[in-house]
């Protein structure tokens, strides 16, 4: 089925199991956009998806961020490359955590104050940095 829930389930496979999400935020949630993200022939070679962080993940990040992030390095799909060490940037409401996938073609950015986890990918070339302001 080509719906937002199916896209969320499928896209979550690239995320570490320790980072639970409750949904996706798409600027354009049309059937054509969802199909392009779900179907291999219409695969976007680069882009990003914004996931809504689940309450349990937000609570773990608030109480023990180091332990939570240390467990958040292996994607649910074991065939995907793992993520590198998490780096913290900013402070307070501007605090974010960034981790790059081992092959350099994807990265995660956690924004706890905004309840967001951003997955960015570029199949054509390695992502250089997500930590720029």
Q: What is the overall mean pLDDT for the chain?
A: 84
- pLDDT value at 39 more than 70: no
Percent of the chain's residues with pLDDT above 90: 50
Give the residue ranges of DSSP H helices in the chain: 4-11, 31-38, 55-63, 65-70
pLDDT digits (tens, 9 = 90+) for 74-129: 999 888 889 999 999 999 999 999 999 998 889 999 999 999 999 998 877 666 65
pLDDT digits (tens, 9 = 90+) for 68-78: 999 999 999 88
Domain ranges, ordered by start, for the chain? 4-122
62 is written with which tokens?
A: 């608030």
Cα 54 to its chain centre, rounded Å, is: 13
**pLDDT for position 133:** 45
């Amino acid at each position: 089925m080509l719906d937002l829930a199916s896209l969320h389930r499928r896209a979550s496979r690239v995320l570490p199991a320790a980072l639970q999400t409750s949904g996706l935020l798409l600027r354009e949630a049309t059937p054509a956009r969802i199909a392009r993200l779900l179907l291999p022939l219409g695969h976007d070679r680069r882009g990003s998806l914004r996931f809504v962080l689940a309450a349990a993940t937000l609570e773990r990040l608030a109480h023990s961020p180091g332990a939570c992030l240390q467990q958040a390095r292996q994607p649910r799909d074991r065939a995907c490359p793992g993520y590198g060490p998490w780096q913290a940037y900013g402070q307070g409401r501007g605090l974010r955590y960034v981790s790059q996938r081992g092959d350099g073609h994807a990265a995660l950015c956690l924004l706890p104050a905004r309840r967001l986890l951003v997955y960015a990918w570029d199949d054509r070339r390695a992502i250089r940095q997500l930590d720029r302001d």
